[in-house]
Amino acid sequence: MTETVLEKIHTAVEILKESKHAVVFTGAGISTPSGIPDFRSTNTGLWQKNDPMLVASATAFKHHPDRFYRWLQPLLLASSQAQPNPAHQAIAALEINGVVKAVITQNIDNLHQKAGSTNVIELHGTMESFHCPACQQPAKDSRAIMEEVLEGLIPYCTHCGAIMKPDITLYEEPLPVQAWQIANQEITHADVMLIAGSSLEVIPASSLPYDAYRRGSRIIIVNYSPTYLDPLADVIINGDVAEVLPTILQYLISSN
Ligand code: ZN
């Protein structure tokens, strides 16, 4: 790491040490080191054949569930085999140390929970549970349904026979109401927002860090590419989340 990056990390650590309620906001970039492709990125091999709107939208699920499940299968496979990386682990450790109070994530891969974070708000839902969109029954055994999908089968509701749906937010769908409300409560309390691995391009999720800023929260950004919030940020570190976040954690622990 360069001197400049290390200086920025020091500044970030000072801000985090002064904070009473730091909230982390994450996106696809935090899971790419774990081998989960960003399905919104058009140049990652796995997805370039698919326009997300044609496969990952509410319309696609309704009219072409076979196509939808062919799209979901490799994503579910990657996610079920993936392990949390040092960035997820550093965030979980920051929660144990009392610095981080909540993680708001746009990811649906469960890796923050696997790393040990306990207060995770999933703005776009999760691939690891299912429900029936017709009779609204949640799946009794989501593991079994995941196995079916991984075998290339389409899962059906045991109550009414409709096709089961993973609890993820598709294109054309609103965000889950409860997660959105809890995220907004966290934003109200946040005095530092640590944005990691998100380019803040997906609305409405990406509006949350700006809301926090308007309420007086300080902003730390760790991401490869620029974001719309850069001009308002206290610290911007354009580096690898899996290197930068563990270094933040290490400095924070050693300076206590
Ligand atoms: Zn049903």
Note the pLDDT tens digit of each residue in 43-99: 444 455 567 777 788 999 999 999 899 989 988 999 999 999 999 999 999 999 999
Cα 171 to ligand 1 centre (Å):
22
The span from the CA of 180 to the CA of 11, in Å, is 30
- Residue 255 clears pLDDT 90, i.e. is over it: no
Residue among 21, 64, 88, 124 flagged as catalytic: 124
Q: How far is ligand 1, taken at its centre, from the CA of residue 133, in Å?
A: 7
Rounded to whole angstroms, how far apart are CA atoms 214 and 72? Answer: 37
16-30, 63-77, 180-194, 222-236: least confident range = 63-77
pLDDT score at 50: 63
pLDDT of residue 43: 47
Identity of the residue numbered 114: K
Distance 124 CA to ligand 1 centre (A): 22
Q: How many CA atoms lie within 13 A of 252 on its CB side?
A: 26
Q: CA nearest 78: which of 112, 46, 51?
A: 46
User: CA-CA distances (angstroms) from residue 66 to 63, 191, 210, 246?
Assistant: 9, 45, 38, 41
Does 189 participate in catalysis according to the annotation? no
Overall average pLDDT of the 125-152 stretch: 95
**Long-range CB pairs of 90-94, under 8 A, 24+ apart, other chains included:** 90/245, 90/246, 90/248, 90/249, 91/24, 91/26, 91/115, 91/117, 91/196, 91/245, 92/116, 92/117, 93/249, 94/16, 94/22, 94/24, 94/248, 94/249, 94/252
- CA 163 to ligand 1 center in whole angstroms: 8
Does the structure show a pLDDT above 80 at 114?
Answer: yes
What distance in angstroms lies between residue 183's CA and the mean position of ligand 1's atoms? 29
pLDDT tens-digit series, residues 168-210:
999 889 999 999 999 999 999 999 999 999 999 888 999 999 9
> What separation in Å is there between the alpha carbon of 137 and the centre of ligand 1?
6
Per-residue model confidence (pLDDT) at position 37: 75
Strand partners, 194: 24, 220
Residue range 106-117: mean pLDDT, rounded: 96
